[in-house]
Amino acid sequence: MVDTAGLLAAYDAQMRMPTGAVPSGLTYEYDGPVLRIVGSHVGRIRAPRDVGVTGAELDRLIARQRDFFRARGEGVEWKLRAHDLPADLPDRLVAAGFVPEEPSAVLLGFAEEVAAEPVLPDGVVLRQVSEAADLHRIAGHQTEVWGFDCSWVAADLIARVSADPGQITVMVAEAGDRLVCTAWSVYSPGTDFVALLGGTTSPDWRGRGLYRAILAARATEAVVRGFRLLHVDASPASAPILRRCGFHDITTSTHYQWSPPT
């Protein structure tokens, strides 16, 4: 039996706040219990499981984050998990003008169990990339697949590579000169965890094992680097694949978004 409670405890202890080098161009600012991440296409708020304040004090904490980014003319997202405290934090975020997105399943897997030799369709090549041109191609691929502007992805990946190339692995699957699947891994120094991000497959290539192949490759790299656990905030499309690969549900996460008036 898998100790999912133990996995959740490890997640809460190690994955609430970013570790390692700060991506180039970003700043990390603490406001009491929360971390404010400034300088990306949208502001981000990260917090411990229990922010430790309630009532009017919590309302003021929320309002300060909103108003900070309002003054910058930027939006902000507050990432919340289903078991976070206090229990009325979601209602207070909504009262302050934040809008919840659809929740994602938080899944954890053991790197050694997921690692395998990638099995690719004929004519597809899997490779690691770090050059700016390739990272811009990835942003273009994500924009094409998801149907909204993902140009910010290139800047985010470039900033991470620039800050510390050892903290990120970016992978692409190519059929000829076309990207058909893209994904990356972010390593959290001093923890057991690798975050698996960005997994995106072109619609006409789905169902052919690309997502599973790029997952296996990233898990293998995690094992080589000495990381034990894999973390994914999974979409409804990817969650079933991850569960079949041995990942375990531990909670859900929801981004609460605030956008400045237009």
What is the CATH number for 156? 3.40.630.30
pLDDT at 262: 79
pLDDT at 53: 98
**Class of residue 90 by CB neighbours under 10 A (exposed 0-12, middle 13-18, buried 19+):** middle
pLDDT at 72: 96
Percent of the chain with pLDDT over 90: 97
pLDDT at 48: 97
* Residue 87 pLDDT grade (very low, low, confident, very high; cuts 50, 70, 90): very high
Looking at the structure, tell me whether residues 29 and 122 fall in a common domain. Answer: no
Looking at the structure, tell me whether residues 38 and 118 fall in a common domain. Answer: no
Looking at the structure, tell me whether residues 42 and 136 fall in a common domain. Answer: no
Domain that holds residue 212: 109-251
Looking at the structure, tell me whether residues 178 and 80 fall in a common domain. Answer: no
Q: Residue 65: which of 245, 256, 193 has the closest Cα?
A: 256
Looking at the structure, tell me whether residues 24 and 147 fall in a common domain. Answer: no
Mean pLDDT of the chain: 97
- The pLDDT tens digits of the residues spanning 114-146 come to 999 999 999 999 999 999 999 999 999 999 999
Angle at 234 between CA 52 and CA 6, to 5 degrees: 55
DSSP letter for each residue of 71-114: HTT--EEEEEETT-BSTTHHHHHHHTT-EE---EEEEEEEHHHH
* Residue 102 pLDDT grade (very low, low, confident, very high; cuts 50, 70, 90): very high
Measured in degrees and rounded to the nearest 5, phi and psi for residue 202 equal -60, 140
**Is the separation of the CB atoms in 173 and 59 below 8 Å?**
no
Looking at the structure, tell me whether residues 9 and 73 fall in a common domain. Answer: yes
Looking at the structure, tell me whether residues 113 and 240 fall in a common domain. Answer: yes
Which distant-in-sequence residues (6+ apart) come within 8 Å of 133 by Cβ?
A: none
Encoding tokens for residue 57? 């004090």
CA 154 to each of CA 16, 38, 162, 246: distance values in angstroms, whole numbers, following the listed order: 24, 17, 12, 30
- The pLDDT tens digits of the residues spanning 194-228 come to 999 999 999 999 999 999 999 999 999 999 999 99
Looking at the structure, tell me whether residues 140 and 96 fall in a common domain. Answer: no
pLDDT at 1: 83
Say if residue 232's pLDDT is above 90: yes
Beta strands 193-201; 178-187: pairing state: antiparallel
* Residue 64 pLDDT grade (very low, low, confident, very high; cuts 50, 70, 90): very high
- Split into its structural domains, the chain has a count of 2
Looking at the structure, tell me whether residues 87 and 123 fall in a common domain. Answer: no
Looking at the structure, tell me whether residues 114 and 229 fall in a common domain. Answer: yes
pLDDT at 237: 87
The CA distance from 229 to 134, in Å, is 28
Looking at the structure, tell me whether residues 88 and 168 fall in a common domain. Answer: no
Looking at the structure, tell me whether residues 98 and 116 fall in a common domain. Answer: no
